[in-house]
Amino acid sequence: MLYSLNAKIRIQGEADKNTGVVPSVGAYASLEMIEPFVQYMEKLLVEQMNGDMAFLQSNPLETWWYNGELVKFRSDKSISMLQLMIDNPRITIAELSEKLSINSSAVQKQVAAMTKKGYISKEGTPKKWLVHIFSILK
């Protein structure tokens, strides 16, 4: 994704070179004076629109949304695992392994990867899965 706070600050700094750092002066700047910022915002808008179009054109069974970005999983098992966690937040690794017909170490590896990416977490007493990634079907 093009947007980052550092990039935005850098671009604003470039525009400030032309307009000055006093906001009231910059408010009356011409488009030419703030050209770096205009270009940055145009690129950001195009990127966002392209992402939105890709999202709308994607297969809804395989497409998930997390933190403003599209996520596609390479394995149907990952999607099934997330759905099982959504349907039963207290499901165990052993139960996931049994329902997905894969060994528990593979489930643990998937869980660790999804946790590291922020897609899932476990909270509460008793512990339950919180799924932070969303299917576009729901």
SS3 110: helix
pLDDT-derived band at 3 (thresholds 50, 70, 90) equals low
Region 31-59: mean pLDDT is 85
Going along the chain from its start, the domains and CATH numbers come out as: 5-57 (no CATH), 63-135 (1.10.10.10)
Q: How far apart are CA 24 and CA 16, in angstroms?
A: 12
Task: Quick: pLDDT tens for 96-108.
Answer: 999 999 999 999 9
pLDDT at 50 over 90: no
Reply yes or no on whether the pLDDT at 118 is more than 90. Answer: yes
In angstroms, the CA 74 to CA 79 distance is: 9
When pLDDT is averaged across residues 45-62 and rounded to a whole number, the result is: 81
Whole-number Cα distances in Å, 17 to 8, 22, 23, 27, 37:
14, 11, 12, 14, 12
Of 43-52, 57-66, 82-91, 127-136, the least confident: 57-66
